[in-house]
A = this chain, B = another copy of it.
Amino acid sequence: MAVTKKHTAFRKAQPGSYHLSVRRPDRRLWSVTTLQFYKKNSIFFFAADLSEVSDLTSTKDLLKVRKIGPLHIVSRSTPAGPALRLIAIRGSHVKDVQNQHDHRNIDIKKVGIKGIRYPINVLDRANQTQATVATINMYVHLPHKFKGTHMSRFVEVLNAYCGELSLKTFFEMLEAIRSGLDARSANLEIAFPYFVQKTAPVTGIASLMEYQCEYIGRVNDDDRRLTVSVTVPVCTLCPCSKEISSHGAHNQRGVVTVRILYQEFFWIEEIIAVVEQSASSDVYALLKRQDEKYVTEQAYHRPMFVEDVVREVTDKLRTDTRFAWFSVEAENFESIHNHSAYAYTEFSRP
């Protein structure tokens, strides 16, 4: 069962999940524990698993509780304070194999969990939030002396943050991984489908288009880095085919992936717009006949090699000073071949 502790006073706290840091007898700031927290009269109770704190014997070890999310509440545990106190600690003492020493003297650059699927809410320009389903990887650096990392803590952090994913909470989540796993650096990769409403060019009929996105971030003592990746399906029509043929030109669907090193805020929708203007034509979920005519003719008048798409996107993005580094990658599923045409380039602002 979950272990229940009584808490005397924590007035501004709200029911929900808490991130509990415990200072161990050896003074290291150590654990992450997800708590179910509830209020009864003016007393706050919470359930925590402190069994991993294998040598924790007294409540004086409790240092602070921070609520995960925008409402940060920090308090210290003192007998006097309107604070959080652990009164009764129960749990089975289960040996911590991961904290044993390793003697091979090999650091592990990334260790953690890969491919966990979770529903998340992401920030959306039109609607504020959008519910979607993400595939997530979460890693930390593991110094050579430790045998292993505590895989479950990653999921506890994910549990706490999945309700709201924005560029701001993404960094908070990375820090929560770092401190929760007591690590020097943390990596977080969240890939998710993102839907934007598009209207057909002539009839104006609306439908939703899917764009695969990914936030890839890393935080360590010295810096933090986030790359935002957006994948946009497009239609490209071959200039060579158009030039040399008496009628028509082969065209196909392609995908363009832009990866931007995040420095200043931008909307995913802005990147989508740049890419869609840089191909022979957009791709749509719903087109009526007049739209199909429009789109076919537009593509015919804007023939582009996969090299042109990559150059066109690069040309547009490099004028935007918010972007210090980005890469553009395009893959066309050639209609006359059984393989793809591919192009890739990078830009780095001097």
A149 to B, closest residue via Cβ: B307
Q: Are A288 and B52 in contact (CB under 8 A)?
A: yes
- For residue A252, CB closer than 8 A to chain B, the reply is yes
Q: Which of B253, B293, B312 contacts A252 (CB 8 A)?
A: B253
- For residue A42, CB closer than 8 A to chain B, the reply is no
- For residue A324, CB closer than 8 A to chain B, the reply is no
How many copies, total? 4
- For residue A155, CB closer than 8 A to chain B, the reply is yes
- For residue A73, CB closer than 8 A to chain B, the reply is no
Q: Are B148 and A244 in contact (CB under 8 A)?
A: no
Tell which of A58-66, A99-107, A169-177, A218-226 binds the partner.
Answer: A99-107
- For residue A39, CB closer than 8 A to chain B, the reply is no
Q: Which of B114, B203, B251 contacts A331 (CB 8 A)?
A: B114
Q: Which of B110, B147, B283 contacts A338 (CB 8 A)?
A: B283
Q: Are B249 and A248 in contact (CB under 8 A)?
A: yes
- For residue A344, CB closer than 8 A to chain B, the reply is yes
Tell which of A18-26, A77-85, A233-241, A257-265 binds the partner.
Answer: A233-241
Q: Are B339 and A116 in contact (CB under 8 A)?
A: yes
Q: Are B307 and A108 in contact (CB under 8 A)?
A: yes
- For residue A305, CB closer than 8 A to chain B, the reply is yes
Interface residue SS majority, chain A:
mixed
A245 and B296 in contact (CB under 8 A), knowing A113-B341, A151-B341, A289-B94? yes
Q: Which of B208, B240, B285 contacts A292 (CB 8 A)?
A: B240
Q: Are B208 and A248 in contact (CB under 8 A)?
A: no
Q: Are B92 and A2 in contact (CB under 8 A)?
A: no
A303 to chain B, nearest CB (A): 9
Q: Are A285 and B155 in contact (CB under 8 A)?
A: yes
Which residue, A98, A102, A337, has most C-beta atoms of chain B within 10 A?
A337
A315 to B, closest residue via Cβ: B104
A295 to chain B, nearest CB (A): 5
Which residues of chain A in 174-228 are interfacial with respect to chain B, using CB atoms and an 8 Å cutoff?
A: 193, 195, 202-210
Footprint of B on A, CB under 8 Å?
A: 1-3, 34, 36, 47, 49, 51-52, 91-92, 94-98, 102, 104, 106-119, 130-133, 137, 139, 142, 147-149, 151-152, 155-156, 159, 193, 195, 202-210, 233, 235, 237-253, 281, 283-290, 292-293, 295-297, 299-301, 305-308, 310-312, 314-315, 331, 333-347
A-B contact pairs, 11 of them (CB 8 A): A47-B204, A51-B288, A102-B311, A111-B306, A148-B305, A233-B338, A245-B296, A248-B248, A253-B334, A283-B336, A292-B336
Give 5 closest A-B pairs by Cβ, nearest first: A131-B131, A248-B300, A116-B339, A114-B342, A245-B296
